[in-house]
Structure 1
Amino acid sequence: MASNPPAPEAPYAPSQRSADSFGYGDYRTDEGPWEEWNPTADSVRPVRGKHRVAKQRGGGFARSSTVLGVGVIAAVSAGGMASANTGKAPVSISIPDLPNVGSLISDDEPAPQTASALTAFGSETAADTYDSGAADAGEALRSRIMAQVESQHTQYEVKAAAAAKKAEADAVAKAEKEARAKAAAAKKKAAEEAAEKAEAARLAELAKQYTLPTSSYTITSTFGQAGSLWSSGYHTGLDFAAPTGTLIKAVHSGTVTEAGWAGSYGYRTILTLDDGTELWFCHQSSINVSVGQKVATGDVIGRVGATGNVTGAHLHLEVHPDGNPTGIDPAAWLRGKGLNP
């Protein structure tokens, strides 16, 4: 800071004594006579402003350091506030060479670049601090985001692997189920085919043991057929219409248990098989066997006729398992023996 120059010292007078001899504001008469000094305009420099304060050599550095610290703090604060207010990253400013501490406080006016240098130094320091903090915060945020992405990716891979494993297991299970179903179906079909073949073989063998009761016939009435022609209200046998005198054969080997007239049945022959089944041959024109006679399959036991309650020549055949009065369908029974009436 600038100050006024000091006033000139008074001219030296030999008759005067040293000013050090003054004591406590009182004059001492024993010091000798004093001359009065009247300064003139020529001997005294005009005073401008306040008197200059002498530079302190011993404490100047401390004062300069204090001022420098205050200036740096102010500059840093100003730079930080500017950065915070703008919300933008501060622009780096080059720092010029700062003058030494002693030159910051001088008798002359301070150089303008000193304040600019302090401001620039504070701004750059704040910018560096901001950049460093922002970089650290950004890196931490980036690390967290990458960690979250990695975690989510890992979870997705685990779920995808589990889903793929489950899908594979389901596909294997489905394939095994389908294979078992196909194997079961094939086994069932093979069993059915084997059963059919076995049944066909059995029927073929039975067909050798059984035969149809007559030939050159026409089926005119079936079992269970309803009508007023029958006293029971329905037909109880199977009718083979054929010309009178057509041969009637034993369907299977057995024993003749009845042979004679039977009312509405006309002439009837009953053949009892080895399993107890009774076969009734009715409306015969003639009987060729007698009671107790054993016959074999295909033996002639009589001839077709029209005796009894009839409307024409035919053979009326009934089947009574175990000799029961109620008969069963003769056509179904014949088919069970390998015959197709």
Structure 2
Amino acid sequence: MASNRPAPQAPFAPSQYGTETFGYGTYRTDEGPWEEWNPTEDSIRPLRGRHRVAKQRGGGGLARSSAVLGVGVIAAVGAGGMASANTGKPPVSISMPDLPSVGSLLGDGAGAQATKGSATALSSVGVTEADSAEGTADAGEALRNRIMAQAEQQQGQAETKAVAAAVSAADQEVADAAAKAEKEAAARAAAAKEKAEAAAKKKAEEARLAALAKQYTLPTSSYTVTGTFGQAGSMWSSGYHTGLDFAAPTGTLIKAVHTGTITEAGWAGSYGYRTILTLDDGTELWFCHQSSISVSVGQKVNTGDVIGRVGATGNVTGPHLHLEVHSGGASSGIDPMAWLRGKGLNP
């Protein structure tokens, strides 16, 4: 903080009024007469960055510097009060360094005995305790209002977030429910479609088998199935049964299962009398153990035509028809039961 230069010592002249104290109706020996002070441009020009006090001559200079200092103090106090009143904030203490006494400015021995200046804050000069308390209360109220406003804002933001989260959760729940309902509807539609397709397929197969049943027929009637394909036993030379046995009385008619050509008719060893009917797709049907044969090789027959009679010729234990099915001319046969069912027949 800038400080004023100390004023030069005023010239001294003896007083004709005695040694009485200044200010009590008489004159002191050091009271005058004073030399007139005529300031010039050089003497009052301030220095850059600091205040400059022009040279003082005589007691009038001291009085003038004291007056300037007092005006500065009043201005500082007024500025501090205006700042406190304008901003609403508590006054800020501004400490001033101790100023030397008037005696020290004069440079005589009286300065050593003079009282030093106090460090009283300029901003508190002229400010009462009530004003300070009021300023502090206003600042506290303003701070409280700001805190309450911030708390309300944060609470509003929290409530907004909570509402947004609840809305999002509800939307997600609705979306999940819609997706689940759509998935269930799609599953029901797929199941219904599959069921309808299965029913249609079954119906179509039944129609196909019905149509085939008109083209195919069982080889005999009044029978009992006594042996199935694949049965194991020592009575068969291959170790297992290779056909389907229809037990029936001797002489029971044997019919052509489907339209085809007779490719073999005669004795066949353990098969006894055997007739082979070859269908148009190359499938061979073997009718074995006949008591008699009613067709010849190369003869065309239709479904249901009589081709022989049930007997007990060959390796048998009783009269029956032994039927084998050979697909594509293969020597090993396939299951005649499954083949007949595939043609719409149920032995």
TM-score range, shorter chain: 0.5 to 0.7
CA, structure 1 residues 337+125, in 2 after alignment: closer, same or farther (shift >3 Å)?
Answer: same
Alignment of 1:61-140 (within 5 A): 124-125=130-131, 127-140=133-146
Q: Which has the higher contact order (CA 8 A, sep 6+)?
A: 1
Q: Give the match for residue 288 of structure 1.
A: 294
Q: Give the match for residue 317 of structure 1.
A: 323
Candidates 135, 159, 171, aligned match of 2:177: 171
Report runs of 4+ in structure 1 exceeding 3 Å deviation: 22-25, 121-131
SS at 2:291 equivalent: strand
AA matched with 2:313? T
Matched, 1:327 2:327: no
Alpha-carbon distance in structure 2 between the residues aligned to 1:329 and 1:244? 25
SS at 2:315 equivalent: coil
SS at 1:286 equivalent: strand
Alpha-carbon distance in structure 2 between the residues aligned to 1:168 and 1:244? 78
Matched, 1:162 2:178: no
Candidates 218, 235, 240, aligned match of 1:229: 235
Matched, 1:268 2:250: no
Q: Give the match for residue 180 of structure 1.
A: 186
Identity of aligned residues (%): 68
Q: Which runs of 5+ in 2 are unaligned?
A: 1-15, 20-69, 78-126
Alpha-carbon distance in structure 2 between the residues aligned to 1:23 and 1:211? 171
Alignment of 1:208-227 (within 5 A): 208-227=214-233
SS at 1:194 equivalent: helix
Report the RMSD for the aligned CA atoms in angstroms: 2.3
Residue 201 of structure 1 deviates from its aligned partner by: 0.1
AA matched with 1:340? N
Alpha-carbon distance in structure 2 between the residues aligned to 1:286 and 1:174? 72
Residue 130 of structure 1 deviates from its aligned partner by: 4.2
Alpha-carbon distance in structure 1 between the residues aligned to 2:174 and 2:332? 64
Q: Which of these two proteins has the greater Rg computed from alpha carbons?
A: 1
SS at 1:197 equivalent: helix
Q: Which runs of 5+ in 1 are unaligned?
A: 1-21, 26-61, 70-120
AA matched with 1:162? S
AA matched with 1:326? S
SS at 2:159 equivalent: helix
AA matched with 1:251? V
How high is the TM-score relative to the length of structure 2?
0.62
Alpha-carbon distance in structure 2 between the residues aligned to 1:131 and 1:310? 127
Alpha-carbon distance in structure 2 between the residues aligned to 1:177 and 1:257? 61
CA, structure 1 residues 24+201, in 2 after alignment: closer, same or farther (shift >3 Å)?
Answer: closer
Alpha-carbon distance in structure 2 between the residues aligned to 1:23 and 1:307? 186
AA matched with 1:337? K
How many residues get paired?
228
Alpha-carbon distance in structure 2 between the residues aligned to 1:213 and 1:131? 120
Deviations 1:241-295 (A, max 9, x none): 1111111111111111111100000000001111111000000111111111111
Residue 124 of structure 1 deviates from its aligned partner by: 4.8
Instruction: Tell which deviates more after alignment, 166-175 or 187-196.
Output: 166-175
Deviations 1:16-66 (A, max 9, x none): xxxxxx9869xxxxxxxxxxxxxxxxxxxxxxxxxxxxxxxxxxxx9xxx9
Alpha-carbon distance in structure 1 between the residues aligned to 2:214 and 2:152? 91
How high is the TM-score relative to the length of structure 1?
0.63
